Amino acid sequence: MADTEKTATLTIGDASWDLPVLSPTEGPDVIDIGKLYGQAGVFTYDPGFTSTAACESKITYIDGAEGILLHRGYPIGELAEKSHYLEVCYLLLYGELPSAAQLEKFEHTITHHTMLHEQMANFFRGFRRDAHPMAVMVGVVGAMSAFYHDSTDINDPRQREIASHRLIAKMPTIAAWAYKYTIGQPFVYPRNDLDYAANFLRMCFSVPAEDYVPDPILSRAMDRIFTLHADHEQNASTSTVRLASSSGANPFACIAAGIACLWGPAHGGANQACLEMLREIGTVDRIPEFIARAKDKNDPFRLMGFGHRVYKNFDPRATVMKQSADEVLELLGVDNNPTLQVAKELEKQALADPYFAEKKLFPNVDFYSGIILEAMGFPTSMFTPIFALSRTVGWISQWTEQLSDPALKIGRPRQLYTGETLRHYVEVEDR
């Protein structure tokens, strides 16, 4: 637990209570209200948790004002440039960058767990062909608890580690098979001679009639997208995983819950919604119309890919993603992509508009990722499954951290009740 030296005093009427203030290694102090209800008989109220720290964590730190994102202390820009996804997975899971031997062993383990239990292929076939790949992923990941019984005991650290490795290793296969199933193509099995990102691209785009050999630049861009989405502190889907885990649910059920939450357009679904919005805008001359709608209080429309609960300056991931977008589109000879032109002009006009500056709305991680994925040949329905694939290591790292906390209790928030007070049943003939 972070150290406690200071206190905060809460006064209600003529009564006061001192509450411990915990000091972090980075970020704001927190007031420990764990005993508040017992002492003062009051709850705190914070729907959306805009001012609430739900846990202590050592994994990821974000400074929204400064646009800082650290994974175990390392800046996301350095990791995106110098590291690669599986090394970042090791860092998030174990807390330190691996030695060469540790990395080789970890990569060998992940590589040799990428296949699914063959009977799971039947599970995919139970879905309608037009199912959204996220619906398939939620179902298939939840069903892993019916296939991998030897890694569901959350009280056994070794089983927790095996489940973690299985999930990281198998998510690309699950996402690729969800895609192949919805386009009516046969499943492509993973290959151990390919790296993580290249394997995923090949499982998505290879067909029996013609193998797919990923271009190294595309594999690198794919790996970078995985890295940029790996973890992000206590976002909605991670908080969902933590809450599910607090009841003792098995790892596959917890990650399926995280996938379900990520699907929403305000969260991981924003990359799909952003590209669909850019397509709806269509041409640069229609941008002012959409910016006006985003500013109109009577119009529920929002600029997808803009804004963030924490980042009120810029999303450091978007900066890196924008560089990748330029590289990929130049390689593919689509740097005059009309969607990219609209994206770049929209960003320019929005950032010049006082409304967005006042509301501190900047492009987030989802703004450019969709453009890269579309250029690679993915349909928009695959954008969030790729986000889910990437975020699995973050969910699993936070899940592991929480289960290792001896003070873990089931999460059970209270409420501000404003419903009816006690009243008694009235017979229907008397109503």
Residues near ligand SDX (CB under 6 A)? 232, 235, 266-268, 270, 294, 302-310, 359, 361, 364-366
Task: Give least dist CB 294 to ligand SDX, A.
Answer: 4
Cα(214)–Cα(197) distance, integer angstroms: 9
- Judged by beta carbon, residue 180 or residue 308, the one nearer ligand SDX is 308
- Judged by beta carbon, residue 107 or residue 231, the one nearer ligand SDX is 231
Task: Give least dist CB 424 to ligand SDX, A.
Answer: 41
Which H, E and C letters describe the chain, residue by residue? CCEEEEEEEEEECCEEEEEEEEECCCCCCEECCCCHHHHHCCCCCCCCCCCCCCCCCCCEEEECCCCEEEECCEEHHHHHHHCCHHHHHHHHHHCCCCCHHHHHHHHHHHHCCCCCCCCHHHHHCCCCCCCCHHHHHHHHHHHHHHCCHHHCCCCCHHHHHHHHHHHHHHHHHHHHHHHHHHCCCCCCCCCCCCCHHHHHHHHHHCECCECCCCCHHHHHHHHHHHHHCCCCCCCHHHHHHHHHHHCCCCHHHHHHHHHHHHCCCCCCCHHHHHHHHHHHHCCHHHHHHHHHHHHCCCCCCCCCCECCCCCCCCCHHHHHHHHHHHHHHHHCCCCCCHHHHHHHHHHHHHHCCHHHHHCCCCECHHHHHHHHHHHHCCCHHHHHHHHHHHHHHHHHHHHHHHHCCCCCCCCCCCCCCCCCCCCCCCCHHHC
Task: Give least dist CB 350 to ligand SDX, A.
Answer: 9
Task: Give least dist CB 428 to ligand SDX, A.
Answer: 44
Catalytic residue check, 353: no
Cα(266)–Cα(294) distance, integer angstroms: 15
Cα(148)–Cα(252) distance, integer angstroms: 9
Among residues 149, 308, 353, 405, which one is catalytic?
Answer: 308
- Judged by beta carbon, residue 213 or residue 266, the one nearer ligand SDX is 266
Task: Give least dist CB 310 to ligand SDX, A.
Answer: 6
Structure tokens at 197: 């990102």
Cα separation values, 77 from 118, 210, 225, 301, Å? 39, 36, 12, 32
Task: Give least dist CB 417 to ligand SDX, A.
Answer: 24
- Judged by beta carbon, residue 85 or residue 306, the one nearer ligand SDX is 306
- Judged by beta carbon, residue 307 or residue 385, the one nearer ligand SDX is 307
Q: Which residue is nearest to ligand SDX (CB)?
A: 307
Task: Give least dist CB 59 to ligand SDX, A.
Answer: 13
Catalytic residue check, 223: no
Task: Give least dist CB 269 to ligand SDX, A.
Answer: 8
- Judged by beta carbon, residue 120 or residue 255, the one nearer ligand SDX is 255
Q: Residue length, the chain?
A: 431
Among residues 366, 405, 424, 430, which one is catalytic?
Answer: 366
- Judged by beta carbon, residue 177 or residue 387, the one nearer ligand SDX is 387
- Judged by beta carbon, residue 106 or residue 362, the one nearer ligand SDX is 362
Active-site residue list:
308, 366
